[in-house]
């Protein structure tokens, strides 16, 4: 992990150097942003580092013929694989906790810091702001401050537009407010211009202040603006509970949720895949061969997983097909090999 972490930090820092000079973003800013991404790097590269560790660790036993002696004493390849996976599960517990409780806030803090340094304009498109739908109401506004920092706070928004739709999704009323402040479970709208579409035409009126009860809380705004893969399981479930129509939740959130659930399976699958290669190198291949095999195998499976997740988002493939099914198939093949050669 130290090897991969060092390399990833170096490459990440070099990538951020290209942004130096934009706004207040300096070399120190690039370094600080890169440091905040360390938990995410550790979480992402753990499957790769795990298989490399297994290839090096068990490979060292194989090089000294110790694995041969262990098998001669009655320990099958399947039993050696089971012991390896048991040890891996011990490491998976803290890694899963890091992925749930440390990676999301650290990533959000990194993006908040970066956007605040590069631009004073809240890090969002100036012409779009935040868009979110709650039933027949569509909410659009630009945060005063950074959208990444609005969780759990009484925030203010400007250039607020609230669209009210009928059951046929036709616009019934449009309210444009100069400013909106969230307090408790309500939004306080100020200096509002209301346009209503009725059968006889259009009615326009002006309201100085109006209280608007809404489930659109600051935390939901922050979740909708973050990339689903950077959210925790808790945040994704909050987003799903917010939507009344569970069938129309964007597939990228479902894929992100299932990728979180299947993370332990992906790690175990990656390591299991390395075991047949390891036993094949018992009598040939030195440290360099084992290291290269582990790195290549881990990277191939890592890239395959990322590719399948992207394919699922683009082509709306069922989340289980792109997250769980590939790992199950690969694990089955690896276990079949170990069982077939359990007496070898």
**How far apart are alpha carbons 74 and 342 in whole angstroms?**
10
CA distance to 37, 64, 231, 234, 266, per residue, from 81 (Å): 33, 19, 33, 33, 16
Contact 322, 309 (CB under 8 A): yes
pLDDT digits (tens, 9 = 90+) for 328-339: 999 999 999 888
Average pLDDT over residues 55-65: 83
pLDDT digits (tens, 9 = 90+) for 111-162: 888 888 886 544 444 445 788 888 889 999 877 665 555 555 567 888 899 9
Average pLDDT over residues 301-317: 93
Average pLDDT over residues 235-240: 92
Nearest alpha carbon to residue 3 among 61, 48, 58, 54: 48
Does 27 have pLDDT greater than 80?
yes
Q: In the chain, what are the domain boundaries? A: 2-118+251-340, 130-226
Nearest alpha carbon to residue 136 among 168, 106, 161: 168
Q: How deeply is 203 buried, as exposed, middle or buried, from its count of CB atoms within 10 A (0-12, 13-18, 19+)? A: exposed
Percentage, residues of the chain above pLDDT 90:
51
CA distance to 231, 266, 298, per residue, from 99 (Å): 9, 14, 19
- As given in the structure block, the two tokens for residue 49 are 């580092």
């Amino acid at each position: 992990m130290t090897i991969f972490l060092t390399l990833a930090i170096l490459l990440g820092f070099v990538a951020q150097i290209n942004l130096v000079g934009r706004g207040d973003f300096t070399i120190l800013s690039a370094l600080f942003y890169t440091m905040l991404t360390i938990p995410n790097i550790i979480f992402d590269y753990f499957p790769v580092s795990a298989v490399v560790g297994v290839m090096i660790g068990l490979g060292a036993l194989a090089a000294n013929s110790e694995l041969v002696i262990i098998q001669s004493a009655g320990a099958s390849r399947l039993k050696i694989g089971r012991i390896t996976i048991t040890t891996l599960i011990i490491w998976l517990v803290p890694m899963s906790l890091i992925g749930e409780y440390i990676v999301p806030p650290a990533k959000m803090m990194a993006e908040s810091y970066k956007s605040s340094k590069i631009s004073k304009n809240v890090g969002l498109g100036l012409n779009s702001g935040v868009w979110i739908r709650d039933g027949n109401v569509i909410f659009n506004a630009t945060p005063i401050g950074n959208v990444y920092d609005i969780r759990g706070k009484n925030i203010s928004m400007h250039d607020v537009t609230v669209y009210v739709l009928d059951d046929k999704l036709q616009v019934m009323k449009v309210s444009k407010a100069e400013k909106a402040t969230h307090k408790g479970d309500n939004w306080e709208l100020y200096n509002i211009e209301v346009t209503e579409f009725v059968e006889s035409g259009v009615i326009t009126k002006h309201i100085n202040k109006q209280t608007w009860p809404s489930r659109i809380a600051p935390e939901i705004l922050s979740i909708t603006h973050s990339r689903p893969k950077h959210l925790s399981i808790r945040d994704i479930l909050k987003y799903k509970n917010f939507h009344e129509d569970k069938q129309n939740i964007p597939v990228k959130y479902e894929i992100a949720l299932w990728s979180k659930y299947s993370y332990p399976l992906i790690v175990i699958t990656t390591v299991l895949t390395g075991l047949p290669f390891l036993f094949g190198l018992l009598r040939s291949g030195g440290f360099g061969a084992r290291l290269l095999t582990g790195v290549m195998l881990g990277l191939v499976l890592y890239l395959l997983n990322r590719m399948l997740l992207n394919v699922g988002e683009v082509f709306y493939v069922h989340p289980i097909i792109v997250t769980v099914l590939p790992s199950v198939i690969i694990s089955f093949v690896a276990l079949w090999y170990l069982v077939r050669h359990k007496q070898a």
